[in-house]
Structure 1
Amino acid sequence: MANMELQMGPQLEQIHGEIHDNFRALANGFQKLDKIKDSNRQSKQLEELTAKMRECKRLIKEFDREIKDEEIRNPPEVNKQLNDEKQSMIKELNSYVALRKTYVSSLGNKRVELFDMGAGASDPTADDNVQMASAMSNQELINAGMKTMNETDQAIERSKQVVEQTIEVGTQTAVTLKGQTEQMGRIVNELDTIQFSIKKASQLVKEIGRQVATDKCIMLFLFLIVCGVIAIIIVKVFSPIHPFSFLNFSC
């Protein structure tokens, strides 16, 4: 089917072009393989062709996924054309796989069988969605698409539930944070009150200290007066002459 006859989006068109580029490379590669006489070089060429077939297999899977994604938006005749093109590409890939097996048998080279071990089957399209889709009728494809859509809807519903739970947890967390913020505000106010009380207490202690210092000076002065009076009394008691007799004489 010609590329211009197919109605496909840019992504599908790009994948479709890459697949056919690989098919052309496979065709040229097998033509060159016929001209190679050395078995080692033939083995190396087969390994390169195997890598190309593996890439084709991956691209066909992508092509199939894109068809399913666009199936709802496309009219039925376009979907039929795209599915027919997909099956045509699968058949062409299988023809290269069969050709590879022929060369492997003729060479008896086990190294190229690494592709089979890596792919999980001897056929690149075996045991995967591409081969299953090629064997389905249009109704089966529609049923499979509806099943996939239902599974997608269920996954979306589970995602919605997770989002709702996340929003609920976020709301609870916001309430908790608000309560903690208010509590922190009260703590800050209490700390301000305590700091003010400490300042007042510090001023009071300073005033008390100044008053105590003043009281000490007064007590020291009184102590000195008392000591002076005691000294005068002692002198008067033990002295034979009155210490202030000269005052009387002068008078």
Structure 2
Amino acid sequence: MAEDRLFEEAWKTVRVGRDGPVAEVALHRPDARNALDTVLMDELTEVARLLRLRTDVLAVILTGAESYFSAGADLGSSGRRTAQPSLMEARRAVMRGPDLCQAWEAIEAVTVAAVEGYCLGGACALVLACDFRIMSRSAYVRLPEVPLGMNMSWRTLPRLVSLIGPARAKRFVMFGEPADAALCDVWGMCDEVVDDGQALAAARGWAAKVAKLPPLPVRMTKEAITAIAAANHHASIYMDRDQFLLATRSHDYREGVAAFFEKRDPEFRGD
């Protein structure tokens, strides 16, 4: 059966397992701190699409390593974007991130992200596409894109504004500063804070609680609330990939990334 390959496939950068009606998906690129390269993003997207309509899976847990979730998008590979042969091909390529987040948001089962340590950039965008987020006390999320000379894309801003409101979203995105678990809890970006090393166990507790509920009204409730919250999301953010392409062809983007790798303050000039 085609569905069985979800748990039988020899995935390169993810680990997929299950405990009865609960599936667990773990990012597994330890040599790169789970940085989101094209292979990891494609596999996470495919896994989500295989999970989307499964009636035998009632909850899905998304997690990283024991001491960190993910270092975010792989800047080494994104820095090569300047050599793209055409704008049309580049425009299609940068849909990988939005497609990933959309695939996870579209899963009918309840999704729970378990976050230990750092969760940066695109990885933060990914967990924001889940239904619930459990964070350990020393965990933190951060969106470094704007200080690097990019806009925050992946169609993340509407999800963020829905969770924490416009002023906090502006603060979180524009300054690119980390938000620890305690702050995320106050803001509404986190649903439970637990001791370090306990995020996955707590997420399993949430998943087990979901699995005891009647599946049909749970799915109806998730779909209805997501539809209400996201009613205008596409109309408000459909241009963010084109804004990203514009930003990443600027001097400030090249300067921001260079300064990051050279560990110095960038000198932006607005072009």
TM-score, reference length from structure 1: 0.27
CA radius of gyration, larger in: 1
Greater RCO, 1 or 2 (C-alpha within 8 Å, sep 6+): 2
Query: Which of the pair is proportionally richer in helix?
Result: 1
Structure with higher strand content: 2
Length-normalised TM-score, structure 2: 0.26
